Amino acid sequence: MNVGVAHSEVNPNTRVMNSRGMWLTYALGVGMLHIVLLSIPFFSVPVAWTLTNVIHNLGMYVFLHAVKGTPFETPDQGKARLLTHWEQVDYGVQFTSSRKFFTIAPIILYFLTSFYTKYDPTHFIFNTASLLTVLIPKLPQLHGVRIFGINKY
Amino acid sequence: INHIVHNGGLYKRPFNEAFEETPMLVAVLTYVGYGVLTLFGYLRDFMRQWKIEKCQNATEREEQKDFVPLYQDFENFYNRNLYMRIRDSWNRPICSVPGAKVDMMERVSHDYNWTFTYTGRVIKDIINMGSYNYLGFAQNAGACQEAAAKVLSQYGAGVCSTRQEMGNLDKHEELEKLVARFLGVESAMAYGMGFATNSMNIPALVGKGCLILSDELNHASLVLGARLSGATIRIFKHNNMQSLEKLLKDAIVHGQPRTRRPWKKILILVEGIYSMEGSIVRLPEVIALKKKYKSYLYLDEAHSIGALGPSGRGVVEYFGLSPEDVDVMMGTFTKSFGAAGGYIGGKKELIDYLRTYSHSAAYATSMSPPVVEQIITSVKCIMGEDGTTVGKARVQQLAENTRYFRRRLKEMGFIIYGNEDSPVVPLMLYMPAKIGAFGREMLKRNIGVVVVGFPATPIIESRARFCLSAAHTKEMLDTALKEINEVGDLLQLKYSRHRLVPLLDRPFDETTYEETED
């Protein structure tokens, strides 16, 4: 039990999103991504914003909703092995501050993107689709749900 | 500024504990570091899977690839991509007695720490800042060693039986009486392994229907013992008496979860010194709470016996309290006495019960006679009964070393956690790359340290842990401090802004951060 660790926390992954400075680092990371995309001369401002939104949502989907389990062994005998990181946050307790923050962040990014793309229809379709891929898995009703058995094991 | 709390006269001396907050820039950079390492880890895994890079960890045979996977790939991610890079700071083979100076076998790796080869050279006289050698009894010469050698030639090395069968030597009885006298309790019992003392005796004391209140940072042996017992476990914040009192009140008011029946027993599990934080338990307050709410106290003095208190009797003497207030006093002989094993001390009825019902007593082989003699000689030395003042001098030397070392490190500007009087000194490193760099740089300068990172500690709080010893002379400490200073400048480890969180009326928890931002 808890081999080699100095605390009685069963799954440290549950506390990572609450640690000091994580939210700031996340915001700075998104800002950095946006600046890099804005610096590429081929992209106009709307394209850069749409790309930021889409890449951010893609990254969030992969790391929070696709990758399952923990990158280290935990003493919980595999309870968290089939859970994505989002499902592991705070041991499955819904509506904690970290969950609220990471739900609101893509929404704010979506608002900014919609503004800077001047509500253009093509951009709108891409941005909305990408926002939905990242918002729907966060709903409490979808905790532990695997549609069509994708990503189940 | 460092307000010192006296808490209504419970504390007879100032209780100075400080856990300086992580600077925000350092926290952000630490996450960036882990993020970069994760991305590179994914890249390397991709290259390994597509055979661009040779895969050196365990995989299944070709014919088994279609079966259910034998090795969990992702659970090994951290091990493969982060731990392997800095693996040479751990499991270092030493080849002499781990006293104040130790010899180490030099090893090199030609494939980035996947395999090691020995060069054949032995690095001599490394200053040992990692061994739990608080009173310097890890010696291969001297009175303890001579007595142990005599007993070895008389009794042999093995006992070949359990305490309850044929393994109860007169040496064990002598040891237990001596330990009881040393601690000031009625009776004591000794076991062969410190970990097994906790994990095998807590199930004998509590069971289903009892409640265990255990500190957040309790050792794995206490956690294992608590889980094995089948009792309900509730965890209170580290050293936080408000959290403990709230849990006690809730437990007594609400009773057991569904049936609302009163709990059969409430046992509070705390440690004397927490070895990863360097903090000392607030024992006067715990005992006051225990008496008010009529629960039992189990004190694990693994690191504090011999290391605290004016005559080395542990944390109870350090606070000037009576050992009768602690129901179960547990400790180990591994740290300050230079031997192996653990003991439990308490009332005679309790120890007689444990002699019959404890798993260690019934199934585990009893302690080896030379080890028992080492403990007997060292305890007599500490108590002064061998006719010399060596024991008292060692205890005083440890206290001086502790104060000096901590003061100098704080002056240099490092962030040091823990209580002013604890001989365990964690120095914060924070970033993952600095963990490996610090261990290697210190070894280059002939100083051996223990470094710890995630997931053993919280993600942004990796640290190097120094364990001071009475065997360290001032010259050794000065050399070590000089090298730590150099490495600190090289790796930019001096994060402290001398903004020690003042000890408020309530202890340190995450809600005190907001008040000290000035």
| pLDDT recorded at residue B67 | 84
Measure CB to CB from residue B224 to each of A1, A7, A24 and give the nearest one: A1
| pLDDT recorded at residue B433 | 92
Distance in Å, alpha carbon of B390 to nearest chain A alpha carbon: 34
| pLDDT recorded at residue B51 | 84
Beta bridge partners of B105: B122
- Where does the pLDDT of residue A137 fall: very low under 50, low under 70, confident under 90, or very high at 90 and above? very high
| pLDDT recorded at residue B8 | 62
Q: How far apart are CA B433 and CA B439, in angstroms?
A: 10
Are A72 and B455 inside 8 Å of each other by CB? yes
Q: How far apart are CA B330 and CA B34, in angstroms?
A: 39
Domain topology for B20-128+388-498: Aspartate Aminotransferase, domain 1 (3.90.1150)
pLDDT average, residue stretch B190-208: 93
- Where does the pLDDT of residue B123 fall: very low under 50, low under 70, confident under 90, or very high at 90 and above? very high
Phi, psi of B277 (to 5 degrees): -105, -20
| pLDDT recorded at residue B507 | 57
| pLDDT recorded at residue B1 | 35
| pLDDT recorded at residue B16 | 82
Tokens 């549609």, residue located:
A147
**Of B295, B359, B361, B358, nearest in space to B326 by CA:** B295
Helices B432-444 & B24-49, crossing angle to 10 degrees? 90
Task: Quote the number of domains for chain A.
Answer: 1
| pLDDT recorded at residue B510 | 60
pLDDT average, residue stretch B463-469: 93
Distance in Å, alpha carbon of A122 to nearest chain B alpha carbon: 32
Segments making up each domain of chain B, as ranges: 20-128+388-498, 143-383
Distance of CA B503 to the CA centre of its chain: 24
Are A12 and B455 inside 8 Å of each other by CB? yes
Q: In the predicted model, is pLDDT for residue B503 greater than 70?
A: no
**Whether B370 contacts B152, CB under 8 Å:** yes
- Does the bond joining B370 to the residue before it have cis omega, within 30 degrees of 0? no
| pLDDT recorded at residue B150 | 95
| pLDDT recorded at residue A2 | 58
Phi, psi of B18 (to 5 degrees): -145, 135
Are B27 and A25 inside 8 Å of each other by CB? yes
Instruction: Annotate B11-37 with three-state secondary structure.
Output: CCCCCCEECCCCCHHHHHHHHHHHHHH
Interface test with A, best of B75, B233, B270, B517 (most A CBs within 10 A): B75
| pLDDT recorded at residue B453 | 86
- Where does the pLDDT of residue B517 fall: very low under 50, low under 70, confident under 90, or very high at 90 and above? very low
Residues of A in contact with B460 (CB under 8 A): 19-21
Q: Give the containing element (helix H, strand E) for B188.
A: strand B187-191
| pLDDT recorded at residue A72 | 86
| pLDDT recorded at residue B464 | 93
Higher pLDDT, B80 or A37: A37
Order the strands of the B450-452 sheet from edge to edge.
B424-428, B463-467, B450-452
Q: How far apart are CA B385 and CA B305, in angstroms?
A: 18
Q: How far apart are CA B361 and CA B476, in angstroms?
A: 42
CB pairs under 8 A between A and B: 90
Q: In the predicted model, is pLDDT for residue A6 greater than 80?
A: no
Q: A54-63, A98-107, B41-50 — which is least confidently predicted?
A: B41-50
| pLDDT recorded at residue B54 | 82
Q: Which domain holds residue A28?
A: 14-145
Average per-residue pLDDT for chain B? 89
**Whether B465 contacts B426, CB under 8 Å:** yes
Name the token pair of A60: 């969030």
B339-398 pLDDT, tens digit each: 999 999 999 999 999 999 999 889 999 999 999 999 999 999 999 888 888 999 999 999
Beta bridge partners of B232: B211
**Of B130, B24, B123, nearest in space to B438 by CA:** B130
B20-128+388-498 and B143-383 have identical folds = no
In this prediction the ipTM stands at 0.93
Residues of A in contact with B459 (CB under 8 A): 12, 15-16, 19
Maximum distance among all Cα pairs of chain A, rounded to whole angstroms: 56
Is A6 contained in some domain?
no
Q: Is B134 helix (H, G, I), strand (E, B) or coil?
A: coil
Does residue B36 sit at the A interface (CB-CB below 8 Å)?
no
Does residue B262 sit at the A interface (CB-CB below 8 Å)?
no
B263-288 pLDDT, tens digit each: 999 999 999 999 888 999 999 999 99
| pLDDT recorded at residue A100 | 95
Alpha helices in B413-517 (DSSP H): 432-444, 474-491
Tell me how far apart the terminal alpha carbons of chain A are, to the nearest angstrom: 24
CATH 3.40.640.10 fits B143-383, yes or no: yes
Measure CB to CB from residue B220 to each of A3, A16, A21 and give the nearest one: A3
| Number of neighbours of residue B60 by Cβ within 10 angstroms | 12
What length is written for chain A? 153
Residues of A in contact with B458 (CB under 8 A): 7, 12, 15, 19
Residues of A in contact with B27 (CB under 8 A): 19-22, 24-25
Is A153 contained in some domain?
no
Residue B106 backbone zone (phi > 0: left; psi -120 to 50: alpha; other: beta): beta
| pLDDT recorded at residue B518 | 41
- Where does the pLDDT of residue B68 fall: very low under 50, low under 70, confident under 90, or very high at 90 and above? confident
pLDDT average, residue stretch B463-489: 94
| pLDDT recorded at residue B386 | 83
Q: Is B187 helix (H, G, I), strand (E, B) or coil?
A: strand
Q: Which residues contact B186 (CB under 8 A, 6 or more apart)?
A: B180, B346, B347, B348, B351
| pLDDT recorded at residue B509 | 60
B413-460 pLDDT, tens digit each: 899 999 989 999 999 999 999 999 999 999 999 999 999 988 788 888
Q: In the predicted model, is pLDDT for residue A1 greater than 70?
A: no
Are A71 and B223 inside 8 Å of each other by CB? no
Are A69 and B75 inside 8 Å of each other by CB? yes
What length is written for chain B? 518
Higher pLDDT, B509 or B90: B90
B238-249 pLDDT, tens digit each: 999 999 999 999
